[in-house]
Chains A and B, each alone.
Chain A
């Protein structure tokens, strides 16, 4: 399925990558100064919205790892977001409030689910893969809808946020924001390392030419499944943070619309760039906020933008910027 990729080819990669890291660092710096600016503007609620954006940025980046670098269009990634949110709800109801333990729970469940469903989905390719991941995502969605102990369809309000080593510092919105930002930066560094590693190169190689990689002696299935599981685990971490931001969990976090939105974020920023996924999450969510403030029929406009973007600027916002010369990622 090399037709999915529009990312730059391997040869001119290194400078483009350095450029992307630079842009990511600028983004992180902007994120870091946002809370004081928000307070100065007298709008501390902005920090809460920004926390949500950062959490989604983590999820979008995780999806980009397999979508952009592995050409696996997973349409069920919201399920892992959901596992993360429900890990917080379920574990805290049993008295396990520690953020790291909840993350551990989310990762274990997500890894198991991704391993089984990924192994089945990866036996197929192309259209089948998209539809099967979507179906498995829905399966998880229906499971949580019928889980009446945790509110079923209506969702479940959290009595408090997670604790870190017994301290309730996350109750402060500002702390939660910086912890989320910390995870985003750490996970970006991890993803960046993965992409640049031998493993990442094999993954990209399979994307470019599956048969050749197989002939050279790299079994695609094993590499793709590993990437799929890693991506699922990172996405579930985003879910844990998101539950803390919203202090509420519900199956809505894992509906197929959410999976679609994650793909939209990745594509908005240009696939296979990691940095683009972060920028895409920011743009997509801000666009939603802005259109939502404009009219309550915002999905109509959002959908229209999506259709027009696919028809006229297939390389996302990066592509638009490149065309106008503001961004030269391909150099």
Chain B
């Protein structure tokens, strides 16, 4: 039981790290640019597909990862310049519609280029084994590597946001956009940087999970809604909130799926518990979100309504 708990907790943290990488960009785009971007999940998907393509072309995980990053910059900048830039001073409704259109286009484009069958990405050799944790418990090295890489990026992001000039502008922008603009900062350039940064983070997340997932067209959407929940829970514009929210959501989601039925079995008979558990588990994160919003409508670390 403890073994299972530790195992699932680690899986939860690993999912949380991925969610954080995606949510960090999303929360900045919402917080600083006030743009609803439904197409953010598309960037995560693009990262995974680029990874699969580059890995197949170069035969090396590392070269592929190295190539994904400039690819992500190109995709992010292109999207910003062609569409997102025109949406800054539009209503949320327009933003929803345009980015919804982008999602439809992106999913279909992926189907045209890569087909509908899922792709897989080979794991790098040095990360392919498992390590013993405690007692008989083994855990895949690659998942640990994801956690470490994610924490490193989170640390880097923390330094960037809190200890650099550009980070200062980001924080200022999230608090009061008009004032930053009035003080002579080129807000257009700042927005492009923010959006591209978010795109790179999401692509990176997609690239590093590609070896443990099957890469397919639906992957961006399942994760998009979860990152929305993360951003709402954490508070729009807050990276710290995104981190805590991501881990919270992922751990609740993972543990709920496994332990929900087990806990219910103590009060219900086995088949009813199994059914109720399967029904309730996917709803847990939304119930969590509702509870948090009920107490704090702007999320855990959100300043603005």
Residues of A within 8 A of B (CB): 1, 3-4, 6, 67, 73, 75, 117, 120, 123-128, 130-132, 134-136, 138-139, 142-143, 145-148, 256, 260, 263-264, 267, 271, 297, 299-300, 302-307, 309-311, 314
B86 touches A (CB below 8 Å): yes
Q: Are B96 and A299 neighbours in the complex by a CB distance under 8 Å?
A: no
Q: Which B residues, 9 to 28, have Cβ-Cβ distances below 8 Å to chain A?
A: none
Q: Are A311 and B96 neighbours in the complex by a CB distance under 8 Å?
A: no
Q: Are B92 and A263 neighbours in the complex by a CB distance under 8 Å?
A: no
How far, in whole Å, are A314 and B92 apart by their CA atoms in the complex? 12
Q: Are B91 and A4 neighbours in the complex by a CB distance under 8 Å?
A: yes
Q: Which B residues, 93 to 128, have Cβ-Cβ distances below 8 Å to chain A?
A: 93-94, 96-98, 100-109, 111-112
The secondary-structure label for the interface of chain B is helix
Q: Which of B67-75, B160-168, B169-177, B290-298 is the interface stretch?
A: B290-298
Contact of A256 among B83, B221, B294 (CB under 8 A): B221
B236 touches A (CB below 8 Å): yes
Q: Which residues of B contact A73 (CB under 8 A)?
A: 92-93, 96
Question: Which 10 residue pairs of A and B lie closest in terms of their CB atoms, listed nearest first?
Answer: A306-B101, A303-B104, A303-B105, A139-B286, A142-B282, A300-B108, A307-B101, A303-B101, A310-B98, A123-B297
Q: A142-B282, A303-B105, A311-B83 are in contact. Are A3 and B289 (CB under 8 A)?
A: no
Q: Which B residues, 223 to 244, have Cβ-Cβ distances below 8 Å to chain A?
A: 225, 228-229, 231-232, 236
Q: Are A120 and B294 neighbours in the complex by a CB distance under 8 Å?
A: yes
Q: Are B102 and A307 neighbours in the complex by a CB distance under 8 Å?
A: yes
How far, in whole Å, are A297 and B232 apart by their CA atoms in the complex? 34
Q: Which residues of B contact A3 (CB under 8 A)?
A: 91-92
Contact of A135 among B111, B228, B278, B298 (CB under 8 A): B228
Contact of B225 among A138, A263, A304 (CB under 8 A): A138
Q: Which residues of A contact B279 (CB under 8 A)?
A: 143, 146-147
Q: How far is the CB of A134 from chain B (nearest CB, A)?
A: 6
Which of B36, B83, B112, B221 has the most chain A CB atoms closer than 10 A to its own CB? B36
Q: How far is the CB of B101 from chain A (nearest CB, A)?
A: 3
Q: Are B236 and A128 neighbours in the complex by a CB distance under 8 Å?
A: yes
Q: How far is the CB of A328 from chain B (nearest CB, A)?
A: 23
Q: Which residues of B contact A4 (CB under 8 A)?
A: 91-93
B34 touches A (CB below 8 Å): yes
How far, in whole Å, are A142 and B94 apart by their CA atoms in the complex? 27
Q: How far is the CB of A21 from chain B (nearest CB, A)?
A: 25
Q: Are B93 and A67 neighbours in the complex by a CB distance under 8 Å?
A: yes
Q: Which residues of A contact B136 (CB under 8 A)?
A: none
Q: Are A263 and B286 neighbours in the complex by a CB distance under 8 Å?
A: no
Q: Which residues of A contact B107 (CB under 8 A)?
A: 299
Q: Are A124 and B93 neighbours in the complex by a CB distance under 8 Å?
A: no
Q: Are A134 and B228 neighbours in the complex by a CB distance under 8 Å?
A: yes
How far, in whole Å, are A306 and B103 apart by their CA atoms in the complex? 11
Q: Which residues of A contact B225 (CB under 8 A)?
A: 134-135, 138, 256
Q: Which residues of A contact B108 (CB under 8 A)?
A: 297, 299-300, 303
Q: Are B98 and A127 neighbours in the complex by a CB distance under 8 Å?
A: no
